[in-house]
Amino acid sequence: MKHTIFCLLSGMMLLASCQKQTEFSYSVDRFYDIEVLRYQVPGFEQLTLPQKTLVYYLTEAALQGRDILFDQNGRYNLRIRRTLEALYTQYPYAKDTEEYQQLENYLKRVWFSNGIHHHYSSDKFLPEFTQEWFVEACAAARVYYDEAILPVMFDPVVMPKRTTQADGVDLVLGSAGNYYGEGVTQAEAEAWYESHKDTSDEPLWIGLNSQLCKDSTGAIYERVYKMGGLYGTALEKVNYWLEKALSVAETDEQREVIAHLIEFNRSGNLRSFNAYCIAWVKDLQSKVDFVNGFTETYTDPLGITGTWESLVNFKDEEATHRTEIISANAQWFEDHSTTDPIYKKEEVKGVSAKVITAAILAGDCYPATPIGINLPNANWIRKAYGSKSVTIDNLVQAYNESAKGNGFNEEFMIDDEIRQRYEQYGARCGDLHTDLHECVGHGSGKLMPGVSKDALKEHASTIEETRADLFALYFLADAKLVELGLLPNQEAYKAAYYQQLMNGLMTQLVRIEPGKDIEEAHMRNRQLIAAWVYDHCENGEMAIVERDGKHYLQINDYDGVRRVVGNMLAEIQRITSEGDYAAAKEMVEAYAVKVDQDLHQEMLTRYAALNLAPYKGFVNPVYRAIYDKKGNIKDVKIDYSEGYVAQHLRYSNDYSTLPDIN
């Protein structure tokens, strides 16, 4: 599972913060609906030489898989990318023309999406230059290409969607993704999966690492991703670097992880994949950690085959310590919450989440990236061995820093005092809110005897997220956090109160289309909290005021607002503990779903005027190994100066591990 920036930041709209004053320049490039950022890797210099060496080997193993994702996303993608790159670099005429600019923009989009379909919507995007111009330019530049790519690039009805989920459509035939060979239908694929299903106690994830194809007699067969099989030349290179990583692994557990992965890439045997996942969950002591391989299944329309990705990271000890402090005080929080004692847990255990620093992003984690990961995906392994949940702190920080001065706070926050407080404490409060929500919020409270955990039915996830958020919000304002050294003073929490209530009441509406209701569970829970609290602040604790035709949130009494938050927490816990479906339904319908049309239109207009890019992604730093005379690595240097175009041209040059047609 992946957590996106929208889900983990509890709706913080990537706002400003200023934890760190630095000259580091985060913004790298901007095109269409995309902004490209760079991220820092704090702590890399402090790693030991063996750890740096391990990171270096694992980053090389990560980059070797790049072509796999392009091919998984569509069988013409590698041909198209390489033709565009050749034309872009060999174009013989003046480059200050509109068409050449359009070529560059299209290529930037292809790189960003690892193919010709939008990374998020999965719709095909078309070049702005014409087919005639493209054909002539290729001839002039002596770039030879496969004619088959022309309709794929230029005809809007050919392969219009990478992954379709539309009703009444054959999901396999209707998707351009390359998880199924030509002509394979949804019914044929489903029948094959059904007949090969593993029903044992420790099932193999059949189909995770293969393409289903049809032979000349119409029979379905599997092409397995493995050395000597599909994507074999890329996996061979991945393994070359994994072997080196194996030689400098930090612990026996980590050695086992790497060894099983090497074996899986070699043989394609899913038993090795299970062994790799189990070893990975058990490896808790290593400072450096990584994911490498066929992992998430969102892009396969049937949700079975894994897209290739890699993330190399190391533990952020200081931030992880923060989650350990919270977790160690779980019982104190439980005892001091506003809920009725009969609904409290006698013995509550906190969970501590690992906070990590990303060192490289690759495959399906690049350039667009998750900010949190929870793996493995196989349920039986999660039940038997647990899972690892991580938050990627340096990426969150890059998002926050890059949003500084983008005008959002100036437009939507009511005055300088609020803005300054938010700049000072917003990021820290955001981290703490996530920690409290995850480490103690979800685990607090208990159900009354006989109440089913499914009692709240379709409102269960909205109510559960609301409960965890309220728990976090209530304790953010508690002096206990200052006492534990997690917040500097009793002012700081106000930054979170203002931002979250503003977001829930007003600014999150910019992500809803005009006329639509709120459907997504996280957005519902944020409006539910903000609107309920607003409605129950009967003594002027907060207000929405109008200035020069614009509406703003004003908070007059933070203590008063916190009391109402506490009341709501008590009621939501009662609803959960009693399984009171009727009350849950009434509350959600009254506060979480409907949108004030005038306010919505005002938010959309004000937001559009800021001209912010809705999607962001990253370039990676460059790692250079310095060798001594004997050929041993004596240091690894990190360099942040590479730009977006230069990085992709270099990757295409140095990590071209697959043929055009696979």
Residues 94-113 that bind Zn ion (CB under 5 A): none
Minimum distance of Zn ion from residue 623's CB (angstroms):
35
Of residues 465 through 504, those in contact with Zn ion by CB under 5 A are 468
Q: How far is the CB of 468 from Zn ion (least distance, A)?
A: 5
The CB-of-453 to Zn ion minimum distance in angstroms stands at 15
Residue 469 Cβ vs Zn ion, minimum distance, rounded to whole Å = 8
Angle between helix 77-90 and helix 131-140 axes, rounded to 10 deg:
60
Rounded alpha-carbon distances, angstroms, from residue 191 to 195, 205, 212, 349: 6, 16, 11, 44
Residue 299 CB, shortest distance to Zn ion, in Å, is 25
CB neighbour list of residue 442: distance below 8 Å, 6 or more residues apart: 464, 467, 468
Residue carrying structure tokens 């702005």: 128
231: left (phi over 0), alpha (psi -120 to 50) or beta: left
Where does this chain touch Zn ion (CB under 5 A) — which range of 65-73, 462-470, 541-549, 580-588? Answer: 462-470
For 601-613, b/e burial (b = at least 16 CB within 10 A) is ebbbebbeeeebe
The CB-nearest residue to Zn ion is: 468
Alpha carbon of 8 to those of 390, 465, 523, 526: distances in Å? 11, 11, 12, 13
Q: How far is the CB of 437 from Zn ion (least distance, A)?
A: 6
Stretch that binds Zn ion, among 138-146, 186-194, 386-394, 461-469 (CB under 5 A): 461-469
479 phi, psi to nearest 5 deg: -60, -20
**Nearest residue (CB) to Zn ion, 53 versus 462:** 462
Half-sphere exposure of 638 (CA within 13 A, CB side): 20
Q: How far is the CB of 7 from Zn ion (least distance, A)?
A: 8
Instruction: Give 468 or 533: the residue with its C-beta nearer to Zn ion.
Output: 468
The 347-366 contact track toward Zn ion, x by CB under 5 A, reads --------------------
Candidates 153-161, 382-390, 460-468, 595-603; binding stretch for Zn ion (CB under 5 A): 460-468
Q: In terms of CB distance, is 438 or 580 closer to Zn ion? A: 438
CB of 250 to Zn ion, least distance (A): 31
Shortest Å, Cβ 84 to Zn ion: 41
Q: Are 517 and 490 in contact (CB under 8 A)?
A: no
- Asked if 105 and 31 count as a contact pair (C-beta separation under 8 A), the reply is yes
Phi, psi of 286 (to 5 degrees): -70, 140
Distance separating alpha carbons of residues 276 and 125, to the nearest angstrom: 37
468 vs 502, beta carbon nearer Zn ion: 468
Nearer Cβ to Zn ion (65/441): 441
Residue 595 CA to chain centroid, in angstroms? 27
Site for Zn ion in 572-611 (CB under 5 A): none
Nearer to Zn ion, 237 or 526 (CB): 526
Task: Report, in Å, the least distance between residue 280 CB and Zn ion.
Answer: 23
Mark the segment that binds Zn ion (CB under 5 A) among 464-472, 482-490, 517-525, 594-602: 464-472
The smaller minimum CB distance to Zn ion, of residues 472 and 518, is found at 472
DSSP string covering 474-536: HHHTSHHHHHTTSSSSSSTHHHHHHHHHHHHHTGGGGGS-TTPPP-SHHHHHHHHHHHHHHHH
SS3 label, residue 346:
coil
Give the nearest distance from C-beta 461 to Zn ion in angstroms.
9
- Nearer to Zn ion by C-beta: 468 or 505? 468
**Toward Zn ion, which CB reaches closer, 339 or 434?**
434
Count of CB atoms situated within 10 Å of the CB of 206: 16
Burial (CB < 10 A; 0-12, 13-18, 19+), residue 402, is buried
- The residue (of 110 and 375) whose beta carbon lies closer to Zn ion is 375
Give the binding-site size for Zn ion (rule: CB under 5 A).
1
Site for Zn ion in 52-81 (CB under 5 A): none
Pairing of strands 354-363, 388-392: parallel
Closest CA to 179 of 64, 267, 302, 266: 302
**Complex with Zn ion: residue 260 or 459, whichever CB lies closer:** 459
Non-local CB neighbours of 581 within 8 Å, separated by 6+ positions: 455, 456, 457, 459
Residues that bind Zn ion (CB under 5 A): 468
